[in-house]
Structure formats: C-alpha cells, structure tokens
Amino acid sequence: MKKLITFALVAIVGLSTSCSDSFFDIQPQGAASLTSLSNKNGVNALLIGAYSLLDGVGAGNTGRQSTISNYVFGGITSGDAVKGTDIGDQPEQEYIEQFVWLSDNTYFLGKWQHTYDGVARANEAILLAKSPDVKDMTDAEKTQVVAEARFLRGHYHFEGKKMWNMIPYIDETIYKRDDPNSTKIPNDKDIWPNIEADFKFAMENLPATQAQKGRATKWAAMTYLAKAYIFQKKWAAAKTLLEDVYKNSGKKLMTNYHDNYRNITNNNAESIFEVEFSVNDGSTGNNGNAGDNLNWPYSANSPGRGCCGFYLPSQNLVNAFKTSDDGLPLIGAKADGTADTYNAIDLPNDQGFKSNQPFTLMKSVPVDPRLDWTVGRRGVNFLDWGVMPGYDWIRNQNYSGPYIGKKWMYYLADEGSSTHSTNKRAVNNNYRLLKMSSVILWLAECEAELGNLSGAETYVNIIRNRAKNGSVQDASVNYVVNPYPTGTFAAKGKDYTLNAVRMESRLEFAMEGHRFFDLVRWGIAEPYLNKYLAEEAVNGKDMAGNTYNKRGYLAGRKFTANKNEYFPLPNDEILNSQKDGKPTLKQNNY
C-alpha cells in the first residue's frame, strides 16, 4: 500500500502541469487540482494517501511521535519497557516515561497532528468519491472507497480517543475545503458513537477479502468495532461480533507464535489487518517502519547495524514470563495484578557484566517460551544472529538495563531482502494491528466480565496451548508452559480470572504498544503502575544471587489516575483552535 501512493501521486502531478490557454491557468507544479483528481485514479490516490499514514510516518513530524507501534505512549508508560538509550537522549520521552507530562511536549503535538492529518485525508477521499464529477466509477465502487475511508477515519479517531479521551470528531460534513475555521469545533462530546458508526458502515459495505494486501475488509472492520465496544465495556455486543470473526472469518492461529513477527510470514492466516511496510521500493526507506528507527541494538554487529538503543524491555516484564514448575504464571487473586508474585525476585541476567567478562545464564528457571521471542537476553540465541552478547548491544546498560526488544527485528539471513539498501533499520516486517490472538483474548475478557469463567478459561488455554506446542528460540532454556487445569478459573473466582486474562494479554502482546491503554481501560493503571515504579526503581537481586542497580531514575515517580490516564492536549493545538478569540478545545487535567 505504501508503494502504490508514489506512482499514483506522480501521475496526478503530471495531470496538473498539462498545456493551458493562459499562463495564469497553469497549476502550481507538484499540486493536484480537484479537476484532475475527479476520476477513478484520483479517488484511489487520495484513498491510498489516507492508508499511507497508517504507519505513523508522513504527517510532518519525526514519525516516532506517531508510529503505529505507539511505543512511546503505550509501551514505556506501561511497565513493559523503559525509554532505553542514555540519559538526556530524547528527554521528552523521559518525561513521558516518568509521568511528568507537559502540554508543550512535541511528542503529543506530533501524535495529534498525525491523527488529524489521517482524518483529513480520509475525509478528502470520501468527499471526492461522493462527488458527481467522478463519472468513471460505479456506485458500488464509490461505496467501497467510502467504506475503506471510513474504516481509516475510525482508526485515526480511535488513536486520538485512547490518547486524549475527549477529542473533536471531524467528518466530511464538518470539514470545508474553503473554510479553515470549519474544523475548529469543541471537544465536548464523547465520540465513541461516531467511531462506531464509521466501523459499522465499513463492516456492512466492505468485502470479506481484498485482492490487494493491506486494504480493510469486512472482518477487519468488525474486529475494530468489537475493540471499540471492549473499550466501552459493552461486553455482550463485543462478544457477538468477536464470535462471528472467530467462527466465520476463516482466520486462525498460526502454529508458531513467532510467525506473527517475521517478514516472511507477513499477511498470514492469523492476521486480520496489518500495516504494510516495504523496502527497496524506490523510496528512501521511510516506508520501512521508519517510526521505530531508534529501537535497535547499539552495535554494528547486530540487527540494524548500530543505532540507537531505545525502547528496551523492563526487568518487570522479563520476570512476568517466569512460570511455576507446572507451567502457570505466577499471579495472584487480585484483578489489578498487585498480588502477583513473579516480581519478588528477578530472573537471572547479566546486569553489570561486560560482554568480555565471563557470564553464564542460569537457564534452569522455568519460563514461558514467548519470553525469548519477545526479549533478547545474554546467553540466549537471538534469531539466527547467534547468542546475544549482552553489554555490547546496549547503549548504556547501567542506565537502561540488559535487555533488547525483539519482535520487530529481522533475521541475518534476510538482511538485504528484508532491509532497505541504504538503511538496515528500515524493514519490511509488517505491524499486525489486529490478529486472531487478539480476538481470542478479547473473547476471554468478555466471558470473564459476563460471568462465564469456564468460557474465559477455554479461550485463554487456546493461547497457552499454542505457546506450549509451538517453536522455541533456544532449546537449552527450560521452557515450561501449560494450560490452566480445567476448573481453575471457576474455583478461584472472577478477580483471579480477570487477572489471568490480563496477564495472558501481557505475555502475548508484550512490546506491541497496547499495554498502557489496556491498563487505563481496565481501571487498574494507578495501583498497578505505582507498584511497578516502586519496584523497578530499587536495586535488584536475582535467583543467581547477583545484586545490581535497576532503574533508579524512577524513584519517587507516581501515576495519578485523574491526571495520567489521558495525555495533555498539545498547547499549540489549543491556541490554534481559537475562534472569535476563544479556544474551542478544552485541556485535560494533568
């Protein structure tokens, strides 16, 4: 999808510079007139332009501020990860990680601008598709374009909704090309009904499959609508849709968990909607997940070949993958996770050991095999790059810890075919936005919330059985994972069940940028994150008896529910929203 926009827009620009009777009739070079766009090619070009922002790149910011992975907003704020790199590098990320939020942080501004750039592009495609001037399209073709654009508009508004909660909803009836003030509307209404309407229209008017990879389908719209219901706690409505997807979409879990994180298995049987990345496509590499281009090991002998050390797994996340001898997570009976025991003592690690110093990882501790498909740790194979060497791959281990994120990395054997010719950090490993595994665990959540604890257990065990029977990263590690024994959830009650479902979501989707938003919608962010902050800030001791510093810079940091559940609106946007001398946007409490 990213590659197609290049050719489409080149053709449109060519239309704008054709012969004219008058010098003053010539359109500016590089600008496409509405007349030249009023045809099937022009409509599709605008639609592809709306798709092209899905990766978060191309809205005038750095890309990392709005990358589809949401690693800054959904990852380093969640307890799953730390900013990484070195102190002082990208300090605005440090403030976000430590819940010191200011409305002039350019990360908030970049995300806001991207959100509404995506909305604007979707609206432009809708307006043109509905125009009577477009005469070479059937009504059915126009309806499908509108449905795809409304899917995208729903997505971009959803991104803004989970970031700021109260945001303006802008559709094609509000937006006026000739009135720059038309979109200056207040953020005083809950826009969930509008988001639902967009996904419903898409669901009812899109085909079940698309010939072109990356385009929205009926099943993608249905899944996204169910996700909107989940965020609103509309459990019964969500369950109905999710069961339809589960039973009738033709999608299924891949045999191996890791198949969701390899470029050679892009658009596989588990994927419901992917954000497409491409490399060596005539572009400079920005189509290859440029928004995550800082999140690579800090060594020329590693994936990405030497930059930049951001977005590293926390010790807390690594500990979460420990299991009991019978292969179950070390969790407690409180729904907010504060009674969990996995973080009482750390999983052995190489904190404080340089790569040229002897270190032997204690591999006998039972862990979930998803750990080593998610996290790179010293002494364990790192895809096909050999054993991860530890310290040499970390920019500042003392500051940010001993681990590397793994899910977006490429195999050494795929270097060149999977990476851009001029930048090994530009890759074609797609981001799986909606997966069958998401559907299954949302179904588990619905069942738990609706009181069907055995049903929740069944769905969770589907995921755990895949983890048990799938491939492993390193056969020398003691991987032990098993399904919950039948009747466990019913015997231990609803709070335990909810906690088990939430833990399974953490293990399954760790480092994918969802966690913070889940903690907020579950209503457990304050107790959960304050426990994390207190424990990650103090010195650690692992099972091998080693003691070491952890993330001392988190000492004294605090999450406050009525201040930190939603981010501050960008101050610039509040100023820009002025109409008749008064801002139309109202700031969040922060």
Over 243-281, what HEC string results? HHHHHHCCCCCCCCHHHHHCHHHCCCCCEEEEECCCCCC
Decide which of 129 and 8 is more confident.
129
CA–CA gap between residue 423 and residue 279 (Å, rounded): 10
Length of the chain: 590
Which residues are 581's β-sheet partners? none
Over residues 91-111, the mean pLDDT reads: 97
CA–CA gap between residue 253 and residue 153 (Å, rounded): 28
> Quick count: other Cβ atoms within 10 Å of Cβ 143?
17
| pLDDT of residue 19 exceeding 90 | no
Give the pLDDT confidence score for residue 13 in this predicted structure: 33
The answer to whether 52 and 2 are in contact (CB under 8 A) is: yes
Q: Is 71 helix (H, G, I), strand (E, B) or coil?
A: helix
Q: What angle do CA 425, 318, 560 make, to 5 degrees?
A: 95
> Quick count: other Cβ atoms within 10 Å of Cβ 523?
14
CA–CA gap between residue 200 and residue 221 (Å, rounded): 7
Over residues 317-345, the mean pLDDT reads: 98
CA-to-CA dists, residue 28 to 32, 180, 293, angstroms: 8, 21, 34
CA–CA gap between residue 474 and residue 480 (Å, rounded): 13
Least confident of 20-29, 52-61, 241-250: 20-29
- Strand-pair category, 404-405 with 310-313: unpaired
Q: Name the helix (H) or strand (E) containing 423.
A: strand 423-427
**Listed residue (211, 197, 142, 147) closest to 169, CA to CA:** 197
Over 271-314, what HEC string results? EEEEECCCCCCCCCCCCCCHHHCCCCCCCCCCCCCCCCCEEEEC
Token pair listed for 109: 């501004």
**Listed residue (204, 191, 275) closest to 241, CA to CA:** 204
The answer to whether 429 and 264 are in contact (CB under 8 A) is: no
Convert the pLDDT of each residue in 535-589 to its tens digit. Answer: 999 999 999 888 999 999 999 999 999 999 999 999 999 999 999 999 999 999 9
The answer to whether 553 and 582 are in contact (CB under 8 A) is: no
Give the pLDDT confidence score for residue 31 in this predicted structure: 53
To which residue do tokens 């075919």 refer?
Answer: 417
Give the pLDDT confidence score for residue 21 in this predicted structure: 38
Give the pLDDT confidence score for residue 177 in this predicted structure: 83
**Listed residue (341, 318, 310, 338) closest to 328, CA to CA:** 341
The answer to whether 372 and 385 are in contact (CB under 8 A) is: no
| pLDDT of residue 16 exceeding 50 | no
| pLDDT of residue 23 exceeding 80 | no
CA-to-CA dists, residue 539 to 8, 46, 374, 536, angstroms: 56, 53, 24, 8
Distance between first and last Cα of the chain: 38
Over residues 457-484, the mean pLDDT reads: 98
| pLDDT of residue 296 exceeding 60 | yes
To which residue do tokens 């991987």 refer?
Answer: 479
CA–CA gap between residue 288 and residue 63 (Å, rounded): 11
Q: How confident is the model at residue 32 (pLDDT cuts 50, 70, 90)?
A: low
pTM of the model: 0.94
| pLDDT of residue 10 exceeding 60 | no
**Listed residue (148, 200, 92, 188) closest to 570, CA to CA:** 92
**Listed residue (354, 349, 353, 351) closest to 371, CA to CA:** 349
Sequence-distant (6+) residues with CB within 8 A of 55 are 2, 63, 67, 68, 275, 277, 287, 289, 290, 291, 431
**Listed residue (382, 302, 287, 337) closest to 68, CA to CA:** 287
Share of the chain above pLDDT 70, in %: 95
Amino acid of residue 427: V
The answer to whether 551 and 402 are in contact (CB under 8 A) is: no
Q: Name the helix (H) or strand (E) containing 128.
A: helix 106-130
Sequence-distant (6+) residues with CB within 8 A of 581 are none
Over residues 531-536, the mean pLDDT reads: 98
Q: How confident is the model at residue 71 (pLDDT cuts 50, 70, 90)?
A: very high
CA–CA gap between residue 404 and residue 295 (Å, rounded): 9
Q: What structural domains does the chain harbor? A: 32-206+566-583 (1.25.40.390), 296-407+430-544 (1.25.40.390)
Q: How confident is the model at residue 24 (pLDDT cuts 50, 70, 90)?
A: very low
Over residues 294-309, the mean pLDDT reads: 96
Give the pLDDT confidence score for residue 8 in this predicted structure: 40
| pLDDT of residue 28 exceeding 50 | no
CA–CA gap between residue 215 and residue 269 (Å, rounded): 15
The answer to whether 112 and 160 are in contact (CB under 8 A) is: yes
Query: What is the overall mean pLDDT for the chain?
Result: 94
Decide which of 411 and 177 is more confident.
411
Q: How confident is the model at residue 12 (pLDDT cuts 50, 70, 90)?
A: very low
Q: Is 381 helix (H, G, I), strand (E, B) or coil?
A: strand
Amino acid of residue 70: N
Least confident of 266-270, 348-352, 499-503, 543-547: 543-547
